[in-house]
Chains A and B, each alone.
Chain A
Amino acid sequence: MTDISLKPALVWPRVPALLQAIAWRVLPPLVTIALILLVWELICRQPGSTLPPPSVVIDTSWELIVDPFYDRGGLDKGLFWHLAASLERVLYGYALSAAVGIALGVLIGQSTLATRGLDPVFQVLRTVPPLAWLPLSLAAFRASDPSAIFVIFITSVWPVLINTSVGVRAIPQDYRNVAKVLRLNSLEYFVKILVPAALPYIFTGLRIGVGLSWLAIVAAEMLIGGVGIGFFIWDAWNSSLISDIIVALIYVGLVGFCLDRLIAFAGRLIARGAPL
């Protein structure tokens, strides 16, 4: 009789342990989304509602949702082409801000004099809202694309620059001492100590920067026009296509999320498993 009590009470939950783990991660967000859609549907179904409920959005903007790749020339393109145009501008502006931000950040972090001289200026400039730069850059470049790229750059350069300089300043004295005892020259110090030590900070800055770039491009494109997700939204507003705006917003959010994850992933990849 005794061996009966030794039998494992439950065997079956072990088999789908993986499925269970996946469900635990996937179900909560799905439930949240379902709830949001439900509340939205209930509120916007009321007569006299100014915004369409999800069912109407899906109905009226069906083509936009299912076919992001159509191209009928001019501005009548699928969302993919608008997003691609916006991402291209972000790529140029962001690459520029990463290069300039890291280079200046290292300089400022290394030199007390440079910190004293430049930091107050940067602290003021970084609080200027992205769109405030647009008229000035339009006046300077007299073309919409370089202006938009400049706005991206000037918006996203500050977090990269400031985080890099903080990272360089935060390099422990111990590492500096190791470098001194080993008599590393400037280049060796830069490659072997400074960059790896400041890397977590640099990537924090890059992550904030990419988020800001994406914020800035949508706003800037509303004003400069042409192909781009920002102008698409503005154009839809002018044509009273509220459903299209909602679809575009969801795409903007998803792309922004992907950009953030991409930079985070790149950071982990480059850090090669060292704790970030």
Chain B
Amino acid sequence: MQAYLDISHVGMTFAGKHDSVVLSDVSLSIQRGAFVSIIGHSGCGKSTLLNIVAGLIRSTIGGVLLEGKEVDSPGPDRAVVFQNHSLLPWLTVYDNVRLAVDKVFGRKKTRAERDAWTRHNLALVNMDHALDKRPHEISGGMKQRVGIARALAMEPKVLLMDEPFGALDALTRARLQDSVMAIHQRLGNTVIMITHDVDEAVLLSDRIVMMTNGPAATIGEVLPVNLDRPRDRLALATDPAYHQARAAVLAFLYERHRAPTTH
């Protein structure tokens, strides 16, 4: 059976005086509806990999197929939730999402439908109370919620999240993780998430892709997380399977593939 998203033999070399190989021979097949995390130490090229899938940069070798079609440019079918939210500061919360909705559904939906769809997606992330606020008037967690709403509103085939909760405090992060889990449960999106947080990876993912350290980083191991959904962070705290998965990722990151000592 053909995979929904197929990353095959992707390599990335940045040309220069000394060519630097960032990624080498990365292959990964992702089924529709799967939640896949990519974890690794900083500098391992995980963001580069995400940007290749997004089409924001092109791989030097190999390629990405989405539903059998080659990815060669960015597009709303691979919506990105950026690490630093990337909301446009001169637009309100509503207008930030509406811009995406208008662009993606400008021809397919009527004006009223687009309005409703914008509001619907903001309600999905519990941000329908702040439609007229501008990004600088809301908290970091709220900005990230709006960023997620904007991405979801594009109805992407694959939702790409680049360390979406990296800049948030622990409590806000936990609440957003729960929201993302609930949305994934409800909509069944295919998600790729970059993270450096082991607990986050285990809690959210169906599979955890562990990257070796660069240069020439590649996939070291793929760990299936066989925990029942919906998952509850409190119940999981005492679940042996959760701890096994967590231990496996920790062992990979801190025993076999320690961060380079230069960091």
Contact = CB atoms under 8 A, between A and B. Distances in A.
Interface of A: 172, 174-175, 177-178, 180-184, 188, 192-193, 196-197, 199, 271-275
Contacts of B80: 177, 181
B86 A196 contact: no
A199 to B, nearest CB: 8
Given A183-B76, A273-B134, A177 B99 contact: no
A182 B100 contact: yes
Contacts of B78: 181
Nearest to A275: B136
Chain B interface secondary structure, helix, strand, loop or mixed?
A: loop
8 contacts: A172-B86, A180-B56, A180-B74, A181-B80, A182-B99, A182-B100, A188-B103, A274-B134
Contacts, number: 55
Most buried by A among B54, B56, B79, B90: B90
Dominant secondary structure at the A interface: helix
B90 A274 contact: yes
Interface residues of B, number: 23
B84 interface: yes
Nearest to A271: B90
Nearest to A177: B56
B82 interface: yes
Given A183-B75, A183-B103, A274 B89 contact: yes
Given A174-B86, A181-B76, 19 more contacts: A172-B86, A174-B84, A175-B86, A178-B86, A178-B88, A180-B55, A180-B56, A181-B74, A181-B79, A182-B76, A182-B100, A192-B88, A193-B88, A196-B90, A197-B88, A199-B90, A274-B89, A275-B89, A275-B136
A175 to B, nearest CB: 7
B104 interface: yes
Chain A CB within 10 Å, residue with most, of B54, B75, B79, B86: B86
A175 B79 CA distance: 14
A196 B154 CA distance: 23
Given A177-B56, A273-B134, A184 B103 contact: yes
A192 B100 CA distance: 11
Nearest to A273: B134
A196 to B, nearest CB: 4
Nearest to A184: B103
